[in-house]
Each structure stands twice: as C-alpha cells, then as structure tokens.
Amino acid sequence: MSDADPAPASGATSAASAAVTGDAAGADAARGNRGGIQLINVTKRYPGQSVPAVDDVTMTVPSGEIVVLLGPSGSGKTTMMRLINRLIEPTSGKIIVAGQDALGLNPVELRRHIGYVIQNAGLFPHMTVATNIGLVPQMLKWDKDRIAARVDELLELVDLDPATFRGRYPRELSGGQQQRVGVARALAADPPAMLMDEPFGAVDPITREHLQDSLLRLQEELGKTIVFVTHDIDEALKLGDRIAILDKGSRIAQYATPQEILLHPADDYVEQFIGGGQAMRLLKFSRVADVPLQQVPEARPEDDAAAVRDRIAAGSTAFAIVLDERRRPVRWIHPEDLDGVTGPIGTRGMPTATPIRARNTLQQALESLIQIDHETVPVVGPRGVYRGTVTLATLQNAIRDMKERTRARRRGADAT
Amino acid sequence: MISLEGTVSFWEYLGSRRERLWFETWQHASMVFQTVLAALVIGVLVGLLVYRSERLSALATSTAGVIFTVPSLALLGLLITPLGLGVAPSVVALTLYSLLPIVRNTVVGLSGVDRTLVDAARGIGMTRTAILLRVELPLAWPVILTGVRVSTQLAMGIGAIAAYVSGPGLGEQIFSGLARLGGANAINMTLAGTLGIVLLALIFDGCFVLIGRLTTPRGIRV
Ligand SMILES: Nc1ncnc2c1ncn2[C@@H]1O[C@H](COP(=O)(O)OP(=O)(O)OP(=O)(O)O)[C@@H](O)[C@H]1O
Ligand SMILES: [Mg+2]
C-alpha cells in the first residue's frame, strides 16, 4: 500500500492478460493475493445506539472474487463497507486488507487503494467526467498525459465514447451513464479492491441488467476483489461468486456460493429470502465456469491433416476444434473435412457458433444451444481464450450433479 | 429669498469639478472593493470555522446580525474614539457591515453541500483540505458570491455615510450638499454624489454577474 503501488498494479493487469493467453495458472499467480479482505470479530456500535449495527462479524472476502452482501434495510451492509475503507472506525475487531492491518494504515492512503462506488454514483457535479475520473490519479501525482490516457482507457472500458463523454458534466449524463462513470472513477488507479454500495439501485431494470453484464465482463478481465451491496436477490445471484445473507446486526445467516444458497438454504430466514423457483434460478444463476466442460481435441490451422485425424480418432468426440494463434475458437473440423487432405488443415471445417463466456449463466448457454445447428458450443474465458465446450447433456448432468450433491449432503446432515 | 448666486447647471457642475469627482469616485470604489475583499476573507474563514457545528454557525450569524443592526452613523461615531477620523473607522465599519451576508451565505452554502458528495470524496481518499478546496468551496461558491454581491451593494450605500467621520469617497459630495442645502450648487453636489454611487453600484454588480459566469462551472450553473 505504498504510493508506488498503482503503477506495478496496472502492470500486473497487462501481465495477467498476457499470461492468460499462455497459461491460466500464470494469470492466477499474477493476481496473487492482491486484495483479499478479512473482517475478524468486527463490531461497530454507533454512539447512542443500544444495539450494534455490526455485531461480532467474521468474514473473509477472497482475493479476486465478487462477494455480495445481501440483507434487509438496516442490517448493517453499508456499515460493513465503510468499516473496510475506514470511513468509520470499528468499536472492536480487526480488519485486514491485502494482507495488512487496515487499522494500522493511513486512512487516506488506504482509501486510494480501494475503489468506492456509491448509489447515484456520487459524481462531483462541478467537475467534468474526465476530472471526476482523474481525481485519484491526480492525488497520486500522475502526470497529465498519463491521467488523460487513463481516463480515455477507462471510458472505453465502461463503454462510453471518450470523445463524446470526457468533457461532459454529470448532469449531462443519464443515470446509467453516471453509474458507469462512477465505476470508472473507482477503477482509476487500478485498485486491487472495490467496494460497491448499491451501485445500480437507482436505474431502470434494463439498464441495470446491462450494467451488471458490463461489471461481469470487466471483472473477467480485471479480477478485482469486490464487495457488492444489494437488496436484490437476483442481482446477488447473478453477480456473486459468494453471497453473504445478512440478518439484523449483520449476523451472517449464510455465506456461500449462489448455487449452494439455492440448493441448500441454511435456515428459514435464508429460504424466505430466496423464495421459490429454484430450478430455473439454478440455470439462471449458475455459471458455465462452474460446470465440468467437455474437452474436445484441439487443432491449429497449420497442423498436419493426418495428425488431426489421429487426434480425433483418439478423442471422445467425432470432431476437433480449430483455434487461432491466440487460442480463440474458429472452426469445428470433422474427419470428413480432411478426406484425402495432406499437409496443413488450413481453413477447412465449419465456423463455430459465437462462443459463450465462462462467466455466462447456464440459462444463456441453454439459449445458445437451442438456437444453433451444431450440438456443441465452445466456451471461452478472458480475451476469448478457449476453455472447453458445452452440450445439452453437459447442462443436464450439471444440474443433476448439483442436486445429487445437495441431497447427499442433506442425508449426511440428517444422519448426524 | 435664498440666494442662488453662483449656481450652475448640473452638467456645468460636473465639468468644473471633473477632477475632484473622478478622484472621489475612485476613492469610493477602491474603499468598497477593499472592505468587501477583507470581509470576504474574514467571512469565509469564519464560515469555514463554524459551519460544521450548528451551534457555532448560529452564534456567528447572530453576532454578525447584531453588528448589522447598529445604525451606521452610530457605529462610525463609536469608532472615532479608538480609531480617530478618516480612512480607518470607515474601513472598519464597512468591513463589519459587509460580514453578515458573507458569513451567513458561506455557512448556508457550505452546509448545503450534499453530504453524500463529501462522503464520496472521503471514500476515494481525498484529504480534508482537498475536500474543502476541491469539493465544498467550489460547490458553495455561487451562494458565497451572492453574499459578496449583497455586501458590495450595502458597502456602496453605507460608504457614503463614512464622510461623516471624514472618510474617503463620494459621501463627501452628499454631506456637503446636504449641509448647505439652499446654498450654491447644493443640489448639484448631492445629486453628483448619489448618482456616482448608483453608477458605481451598477458597474460593480455587472462585474459580479461576469465573475459569477466565469467562476461557476457549467455543471452547476442554474
Ligand atoms: N451514522 C450513524 N449513526 C447512528 N446510527 C447509524 C449510522 N449509520 C447507520 N446507523 C444505524 O446502523 C444500522 C445499520 O445501518 P446501515 O446503513 O449499515 O444499514 P444497511 O444495511 O446499509 O441498510 P440499507 O439497505 O437501508 O442501506 C441501522 O440501524 C442504522 O440506523
Ligand atoms: Mg446501505
């Protein structure tokens, strides 16, 4: 958490992107334990209040994950956030950010390394979009050109055209655009962690959906540690790698993955929170990344036809997938396509359908599978890099497995 | 019968006293400018010191209000004892009168700044000073500027009364005119002083409109 931090951090992002193309393990190492957050027995009692707003909470937010705090009004969600960036001080307990005791750090310094997005964006109305976004870099004494370049980069990242938007004032933006700028501002100095307090609470459902998708796409590239507050169960299920369902005084009723919460609500309180329609929700909120993918033989355009035929014969599917030089899927290739061919396979084969992303939901995968004429769809990770494939059977098996596992666990729990 | 011997037309009067009138107008403008500037600095500082506490804000505003209710002639008279005649009591009295609108508007302006914005500023790691200079003051500025404008108009009028303690400015014309009412050029003198002040007030106000335009970012212009 030194002044010099942001520069290497932004370097790490590009290093990570390079590593992803090569091997996923390298990317994970590059991310390292940059921004994990831990609350240990944290209590916050506001002056003059009889019950604590946050009562003896212990919780770990793993590095690089989105953790959603979900709970009714007054359950202490905002209080927990503000404890993390020290806008308020805990009455007791310990808070660790990126491996360091937050209470031992200079609060101003700490906040510059934790992005903060609040409801209604909280943009400064007297500053242009560019100035708003450039505030933290400016405080970190970046030079003008670097800030300007960063502002444009961030506007692109949140899908706003820099030329159109950098000179505008917040009131000249729609609510959704303001939220985007708010997110861009929080990302400005490439902080390893972000706190987002109901950032999409005040926009219409369609824009909201769109903002959520953008956030997931961003997260896929950036791998930030994000604490996200919402009232909305569907938003929580969609965005969260993990969800903490809070009761009064921030009692954590359940802290688990969306799947687990849907399949195995910890108690009546949680059950009441998630309501019915669990099977559809499972499809809607499980990610493609969470199910075992089907692996098919791989080939490159320059590979020798005979070698590819052998690979297909050795594999479990009747075809192989052709990847380009950056490992992005391009075509399916069947042995028939290679009849009598010698030398490189070149551009033979049939183009794949638009790949689905590992971050996509099973529902989206199902949608794709129903619409295309091949039984298989490729799945890609960050920067379109090939991960595996899904079929209808993959989805069916995945849902069956989830149910099996839960049933087994329940039986186990009942037996004890 | 009152003797009007030596009385000339208003235009002739202006022509014959041109240099003196220019000088007094200049003095008046400069006195108002300087006192309002002093009041701006003091008023904003006071505002900054008190706006976080409701009790202190009320105290500061009502103190300024009490000074405000002292009749100007009386205040000037009272200031003669410690400060003597001339520039000193005039400047002090004008500064004191100019304080109220500025203090009050600074407090109102600063406490009117949306708390969530200050929160956002803290949340992204701005220091106390940075928040004040880059968020709170700029957002309160239009309101403070309105206070300064009101103060200026006040100082223009009250500045005329400074002539009572031999202060500088156009008040001299008015007072002399009133003192020899019926005498030669009495009306001309009073008229010249009054019109001069009105004219100055209009020019200053025009400047404020311009300053307001130039210093208020497009994002918060109404
Ligand atoms: N500054 C404060 N002073 C005193 N009490 C406070 C303060 N801020 C919050 N509280 C109290 O602490 C409790 C938790 O508030 P908090 O804002 O953390 O809830 P929340 O979960 O964010 O609610 P919401 O969903 O409505 O935003 C509430 O009972 C609230 O009244
Ligand atoms: Mg809240």
pLDDT band at A83 (very low <50, low <70, confident <90, very high): very high
Q: What angle, rounded to 10 degrees, do the helices at B87-111 and B137-161 form? A: 150
**Which amino acid, one-letter code, is at B83?**
L
Q: Residue ranges of the domains in chain B?
A: 10-217
Last residue of a domain, one of A253, A286, A319: A286
CA distances from A95 to A40, A105, A108, A114, B206 (A): 6, 11, 16, 14, 56
Instruction: Give the C-alpha separation, B42 to B94, whole Å.
Output: 13
Same domain, A159 and A116: yes
Same domain, A180 and A318: no
A50, pLDDT greater than 90: no
Residues B20, B25, B26, B32: is their CA dihedral positive or negative?
positive
pLDDT band at A2 (very low <50, low <70, confident <90, very high): very low
Q: How far is CA B123 from the centre of its chain?
A: 39
In percent, the amount of chain B with pLDDT more than 70 equals 97
3-state SS class at A127: coil
Q: Is B130 on the interface with A (CB under 8 A)?
A: yes
Q: Is A1 on the interface with B (CB under 8 A)?
A: no
State the average pLDDT over residues A101-116.
92
How do residues B36-49 score in pLDDT, each as one tens digit? 999 999 999 999 99
* C-alpha dihedral (A99, A254, A183, A35), degrees to nearest 10: 10
**How many degrees, rounded to 5, is the angle at CA A67 between CA A61 and CA A68?**
140
How do residues A123-161 score in pLDDT, each as one tens digit? 999 999 999 999 999 999 999 999 999 999 999 988 899
* Number of domains observed in the structure of chain A: 2
Q: Is B8 on the interface with A (CB under 8 A)?
A: no
Are the CB atoms for A211 and A224 separated by under 8 Å?
A: no
- The structure's pTM equals 0.74
Burial B73-88 (b: 16+ CB within 10 A, else e): eebbeebeeebeeebe
Q: What angle, rounded to 10 degrees, do the helices at B186-215 and B171-179 form? A: 160
Instruction: Give the C-alpha separation, A358 to A329, whole Å.
Output: 14
Q: Which residue of B has its CA nearest to A107?
A: B125
Same domain, A80 and A166: yes
Q: What angle, rounded to 10 degrees, do the helices at B137-161 and B186-215 form? A: 170
Distance of residue A112 Cα from the nearest chain B Cα, in angstroms: 5
pLDDT of residue A240: 93
A8, pLDDT greater than 50: no
In a domain, A358, yes or no: yes
Element (H, E) at B37: helix B18-50
In a domain, A314, yes or no: yes
Same domain, A114 and A219: yes
Instruction: Give the C-alpha separation, A65 to A14, whole Å.
Output: 19
Contact B125 A120 (CB under 8 A): no
Same domain, A138 and A270: yes
Average pLDDT in chain A:
85
CATH fourth-level superfamily of B10-217: MetI-like (1.10.3720.10)
Domain that holds residue A346: 298-396
pLDDT band at A16 (very low <50, low <70, confident <90, very high): very low
Q: Which of A42, A69, A73, A78 to mutate to test the pocket of ligand 1 (most atoms within 8 A of CB)?
A: A78
- Range in A24-33, A107-116, B159-168, B174-183 with the lowest mean pLDDT: A24-33
pLDDT band at A408 (very low <50, low <70, confident <90, very high): confident
Last residue of a domain, one of A265, A286, A307: A286
Instruction: Give the C-alpha separation, A299 to A301, whole Å.
Output: 7
A53 alpha carbon to ligand 1 midpoint, in Å?
7
* Strands A193-197 vs A225-230: parallel, antiparallel or unpaired: parallel
Instruction: Give the C-alpha separation, A85 to A400, whole Å.
Output: 42
In a domain, A342, yes or no: yes
Q: Is B127 on the interface with A (CB under 8 A)?
A: yes
pLDDT band at A99 (very low <50, low <70, confident <90, very high): confident
pLDDT of residue B174: 87
Find out whether the beta carbon of A124 lies less than 6 Å from any atom of ligand 1: no
Same domain, A126 and A230: yes
B7 alpha carbon to ligand 1 midpoint, in Å?
78
Same domain, A325 and A192: no
Interface ipTM: 0.83
Q: How far is CA A9 from the centre of its chain?
A: 18
Instruction: Give the C-alpha separation, A335 to A319, whole Å.
Output: 7
Task: Return the closest-CA partner of residue B61 out of B73, B75, B79, B49.
Answer: B49
How do residues B119-177 score in pLDDT, each as one tens digit? 999 999 999 999 999 999 999 999 999 999 999 999 999 988 888 888 888 888 888 88
Average pLDDT in chain B:
89
How do residues A297-353 score in pLDDT, each as one tens digit? 999 999 998 888 888 988 888 899 999 999 999 999 998 888 888 888 888 889 998
**Tokens, residue B54:** 């409701």
Are the CB atoms for A395 and A362 separated by under 8 Å?
A: yes
How do residues A63-76 score in pLDDT, each as one tens digit? 999 999 999 999 99
Same domain, A219 and A338: no
B56, pLDDT greater than 80: yes
Contacts of B138 in chain A (CB under 8 A): 126
Nearest to A108 among B119, B127, B217 (CB): B127
Highest mean pLDDT (candidates A8-12, A264-268, B2-6): A264-268
How do residues B110-128 score in pLDDT, each as one tens digit? 999 999 999 999 999 999 9
pLDDT of residue A218: 86
Nearest to A125 among B123, B127, B220 (CB): B220
Q: Is A166 on the interface with B (CB under 8 A)?
A: no
Query: What is the CATH number for A138?
Result: 3.40.50.300
Instruction: Give the C-alpha separation, A110 to A247, whole Å.
Output: 28
Q: For an interface test with A, give the residue of B118, B124, B134, B137 to mutate (most A CBs within 10 A).
A: B124
User: Radius of gyration over alpha carbons of chain B, in Å?
Assistant: 21
**Tokens, residue B40:** 């701006």
Same domain, A282 and A373: no
Task: Return the closest-CA partner of residue A69 out of A210, A196, A217.
Answer: A196
In a domain, A9, yes or no: no
**Tokens, residue A200:** 């999409």
**Which amino acid, one-letter code, is at A18?**
A
Q: Whose CA is nearest to atom 12 of ligand 1?
A: A53
B1, pLDDT greater than 70: no
**Which amino acid, one-letter code, is at B103?**
V
Instruction: Give the C-alpha separation, B150 to B146, whole Å.
Output: 6
A1, pLDDT greater than 80: no
Same domain, A192 and A255: yes
* C-alpha dihedral (A264, A270, A276, A277), degrees to nearest 10: -50
Element (H, E) at A12: helix A6-22
pLDDT band at B34 (very low <50, low <70, confident <90, very high): very high
pLDDT band at A9 (very low <50, low <70, confident <90, very high): very low
Same domain, A251 and A175: yes
Same domain, A38 and A184: yes
Q: Whose CA is nearest to atom 30 of ligand 1?
A: A74
Instruction: Give the C-alpha separation, A116 to A5, whole Å.
Output: 17
B210, pLDDT greater than 80: yes
**Tokens, residue B44:** 């904003």
pLDDT of residue A5: 39
In a domain, A7, yes or no: no
Q: Which residue of B has its CA nearest to A186?
A: B124
Q: What is the DSSP string of A273-331?
A: HH-S-HHHHHHHHSBGGGSPPBP--EE-TTSBHHHHHHHHHHSSSS-EEEE-TTS-EEE
A248 alpha carbon to ligand 1 midpoint, in Å?
10
Q: Is B71 on the interface with A (CB under 8 A)?
A: no
pLDDT band at A383 (very low <50, low <70, confident <90, very high): confident
